[in-house]
A and B are shown apart, each in its own frame.
Chain A
Amino acid sequence: MNKIYMDNAATTALSEKALDAVITKTKEVYGNPSSMHTIGHESAHVLVDARNMVAEVLNCSPDEVYFTSGGSEADNWALKAAAAYGKAKGKTHLITTTIEHHAILHTMKELEKQGFTVTYLPVDSEGLVTAKQVEEAITDETILVSVMFANNEIGTVEPIKEIGAVCHEKKVWFHTDAVQALGHIKVDVQEMNIDMLSASGHKFNGPKGVGLLYIKKGIRIGNLIEGGAQERGKRAGTENVPGIYGMAVALKDSVEIMDEENARLTKLCGKIMDSILTLPHTRINGSRTNRLPGNVNACFEGIEGESLLMLLDAAGICGSSGSACTSGSLDPSHVLLAIGLPHEIAHGSLRLSLGRFNTEEEVDYVIKTIPGIVERLRDMSPVWEDIMEEENK
């Protein structure tokens, strides 16, 4: 049986165009972009093309795009460098939310250890934070606000443009982790008042281990890696030319089919969500309106997420429970707790994240398969027994 891959928020398969770009550039363009000969120049031109393609999508200038090894690196760089800049100016306060990816949250924790103060804004039951909350949290000490564009677990899309406007009014830098958003929904750094933005190639059918940080001109943050003059001296090291080019091609391709894909995925995910809600004691997490088109996140009372995932896997369906990074830990997802779910309900969560390769037939199979697996686990669950006893009183 073919596996049904519905874990596209963890990572995606390469698109045909991206695969072709990576293979071709790996084979044909091997020079060092910094070299002073034609073979080197060829590689430099590939980088220029990639940077132009990315800049066009973001609606920025190519020299505001800095390639990195991925989303985590971009997040670490943005936060740590902004904090260092603030400290030099006597500003030591940063603002973020409780539902960020660990690349943000753990970096913030590290900055707290170094003496910075961090405000973690709570979210509402759909995972939304408001511009007003950000406005009220900003003080004279604030150097940076970092709010994710879209959440990786529950798919909630934050009011980025409004938050950016508040930050600019208050003269505070605004960073957004757009790893789940770029290539999937509209992102425009100028229109949305964004000063810095992190993204990652492997989340939009590009290669793994390559990402970017957009840094607006005038945002004067320090270098990430000292060495050669690559990335305008800010991030030294000979560039991953095929990877960067593959990411740019993947991004351009994703944006070209975005409108059509979003309509299709919204319909498919809606179908899954509606079918899950026909089962008793289930809920859909996140917002039904401000949501990534490919995200489904549900809780099934009385069962535990890992067991559910493994039975789904045995039936050929690959999903996740919480973020991929959460699976090794024992606490339920910090995102589900932040939207107010009790521990026992958060334990029974399932995330299905759909992408361009998922079909309606796959969705129908998933819809057909879930109820039996849920019933099987509930049948052997003492928690479910208690829920039923309570209900039949």
Chain B
Amino acid sequence: MEYSDKVMDHFMNPRNVGKMDDADGVGEVGNPKCGDIMKVYIKVKDNVIYDIKFNTFGCASAIATSSMATELIKGKTIEEALELTNKAVAEALDGLPPVKMHCSVLAEEAIKAAIDDYKSKQG
């Protein structure tokens, strides 16, 4: 099985990797049993996600989709971010092997979870 050059680039040089101690929202999805876990941290100001970091335990497509998804979300409004789909992330990576499509769901879900967390903190 081979990945596209874009997937390899985002896997080898993931963007926005790291943690945040003062995040406005944190989302974690997946579980170690199925093999992929992603944790997303967001900073929000005036309804815009102006900073984002992630940590991922998973295969190359899980790491690459985490990286690409954070790139696509950074600078977007909450509403725009909520529209992100795993298909769009996969397309931005020039596609994923069919057996790996499920790994891309993780990023979409983690971002939604982080936004949920942010909203609940806003009360």
Contact of B1 among A302, A327, A330, A347 (CB under 8 A): A327
Tell me whether B11 is interfacial, beta carbon within 8 Å: yes
Q: How far is the CB of B39 from chain A (nearest CB, A)?
A: 4
The verdict on A319 contacting chain B, using a C-beta distance below 8 Å, is: no
- Report the Cα distance A247→B41, complex, angstroms: 57
B39 partner, pick from A310, A330, A342, A382, beta carbons under 8 A: A382
The reply to whether B60 and A306 form a contact with Cβ atoms under 8 Å apart is yes
- Are B99 and A328 within 8 A (Cβ)? yes
- Shortest C-beta distance, A110 to chain B (Å), equals 23
- Would you list which residues of chain A between 283 and 323 have a CB under 8 Å from chain B? 302-304, 306-307, 310-311, 314
Q: Please state if B11 and A304 are interface contacts (CB–CB under 8 Å).
A: no
30 A-B residue pairs with Cβ-Cβ distance under 8 Å, sorted by A, are A303-B57, A304-B36, A304-B57, A304-B59, A306-B59, A307-B58, A307-B60, A307-B63, A310-B11, A310-B60, A314-B12, A330-B34, A342-B33, A343-B33, A343-B35, A344-B32, A347-B35, A380-B14, A380-B18, A380-B55, A380-B56, A380-B63, A381-B37, A381-B56, A382-B28, A382-B37, A382-B55, A383-B57, A385-B39, A385-B55
Is A384 close to B, CB under 8 A? yes
Take A310-B11, A343-B32 as given contacts and tell me if A304 and B99 are in contact as well, using a CB distance cutoff of 8 Å: no
User: Given the complex, which residues of A lie within 8 Å of B57, measured CB to CB?
Assistant: 302-304, 381-384
Q: Which residues of A contact B35 (CB under 8 A)?
A: 304, 330, 332, 343, 347
Given contacts A307-B60, A328-B99, are A383 and B14 in contact (CB under 8 A)?
A: no
Residues of chain B touching chain A, judged by Cβ–Cβ distance below 8 Å, are 1, 11-12, 14, 17-19, 28, 32-39, 55-60, 62-63, 99, 102
Q: How far is A310 from B35 in the complex, measured between Cα atoms in Å?
A: 16
Interface residue SS majority, chain B: mixed
Min C-beta distance of A184 to chain B, whole Å: 28
Contacts of A344 in B (CB 8 A): 32-33
Cβ–Cβ contact B11 & A307, under 8 A:
yes
- Smallest beta-carbon distance B59→chain A, Å: 4
- The chain A residue with its CB closest to the CB of B11 is A310
Complex CA distance for A302 and B59, rounded to whole angstroms: 12
Whole-angstrom CA separation of A306 from B36 in the bound complex? 11
In the complex the two chains form, is B38's CB within 8 Å of A382's CB? yes
Q: Which residues of A contact B (CB under 8 A)?
A: 302-304, 306-307, 310-311, 314, 327-328, 330, 332, 342-344, 347, 380-385
B32 touches A347 (CB 8 A): yes
| Chain A residues near B39 (CB-CB < 8 A) | 382, 385
Beyond the given pairs A342-B33, A343-B35, A382-B39, 18 more chain A to chain B contacts, judged by CB atoms under 8 angstroms and listed by A's residue number, are A302-B57, A304-B58, A304-B62, A306-B59, A307-B59, A310-B11, A314-B12, A328-B1, A330-B99, A330-B102, A343-B33, A347-B35, A380-B55, A382-B37, A382-B38, A382-B56, A383-B37, A383-B57
Query: Which residue of chain B has the shortest Cβ distance to A381 in the bound complex?
Result: B57
Provide the bound-state CA to CA distance between A332 and B58, in Å: 12
A177 to chain B, nearest CB (A): 26
- Expressed in whole angstroms, the minimum distance between the Cβ of B14 and any Cβ of chain A is 7
Residues of B within 8 A of A307 (CB): 11, 58-60, 63
Chain A residues with Cβ below 8 Å from B38 are 382
B56 CB to nearest chain A CB (Å): 6
CB-CB under 8 A for A383 and B32, given A302-B57, A307-B58, A310-B60: yes
- Which residue on A lies nearest to B12, using beta carbons? A314
Complexed CA–CA distance, A311 and B60 (Å): 9
Q: What separation, in Å, do the CA atoms of A314 and B57 have in the docked complex?
A: 19
Nearest CB on A from B106, distance (A): 11
Nearest chain-B residue to A306 (Cβ)?
A: B59
